[in-house]
Structure 1
Amino acid sequence: METIKLELDEKNRGAFNLYVDGKKLGEMTVSLKDAVLTVYHTGVEPEAEGKGYAKLLLNEMTAYVRANGMQIIPLCPYVHAQFKKHPEAYLDIWKK
């Protein structure tokens, strides 16, 4: 069973962390400032690649942003590529 948790430090830096059966297998590192979430990196452990976990992280992150009325700066190559590939799905939250 997959669980994704947003875990932030006192400076609002951290990650959406993906856990499978209690083991951390992926993360999307982010920072929050005002109403903007900046995404820096998405990574999945080698043994978990090819299972759609990066997409799960992306979906969780975008749902969080929408629920909180925020915008995204996609510095992460994976997130930026998804935004460019499917701009219609992200125009409402993409801070250009």
Structure 2
Amino acid sequence: MAEVKLQLAERGRGAFYLYEEGEKAGEMVVGISGTTLTVYHTEVDPRFEGRGLAKLMLEEMVAYARTNKLTVMPLCPYVHAQFKRHPELYNDIWKQ
């Protein structure tokens, strides 16, 4: 079963790392400054594509943002497309 872990370094830079079958399967690179969480890049290893794992990382990031009262700036094309496609799901956290 897939597992997502957030690792942040000093100055709020880090990533949500996705692990599947005991190995790193993807990452969502983020930065947090003040009350804004910026998503820069989302990537899933080609061996794990087609399993909905990018969506799983998106859901974890959104849950983290809501829990921590952050707005999200989706610079990542994947996240931006999801926010645009489903604004009803993300309007409360979307920094436009």
Matched residues, number: 96
Please state whether the residue corresponding to 1:60 is helix, strand or coil.
Answer: helix
What is the CA-CA distance between 1:91 and the residue it aligns to?
0.4
What is the CA-CA distance between 1:9 and the residue it aligns to?
1.0
Q: Any idea what the Cα deviations from partners look like across 1:21-70, whole Å, max 9, x if unmatched?
A: 32110100000011110000000000000000000000000000001111
Cα distance between partner residues in 2 of 1:12 and 1:24: 21
In the alignment, structure 1 residue 56 sits paired with structure 2 residue 56: yes
Q: Return the TM-score normalized by structure 1.
A: 0.97
Please state whether the residue corresponding to 1:56 is helix, strand or coil.
Answer: helix
Specify the code of the residue in structure 1 equivalent to 2:38.
T
Cα RMSD for the two superposed structures:
0.7
Specify the code of the residue in structure 2 equivalent to 1:65.
A
In the alignment, structure 1 residue 82 sits paired with structure 2 residue 77: no
What is the CA-CA distance between 1:8 and the residue it aligns to?
1.0
What is the CA-CA distance between 1:95 and the residue it aligns to?
0.5
Where in structure 1 do 4 or more consecutive aligned residues deviate above 4 Å?
Answer: none
For residue 36 of structure 2, what is the aligned residue in structure 1? 36
Gaps of 5+ in 1: none
Please state whether the residue corresponding to 2:11 is helix, strand or coil.
Answer: coil
Gaps of 5+ in 2: none
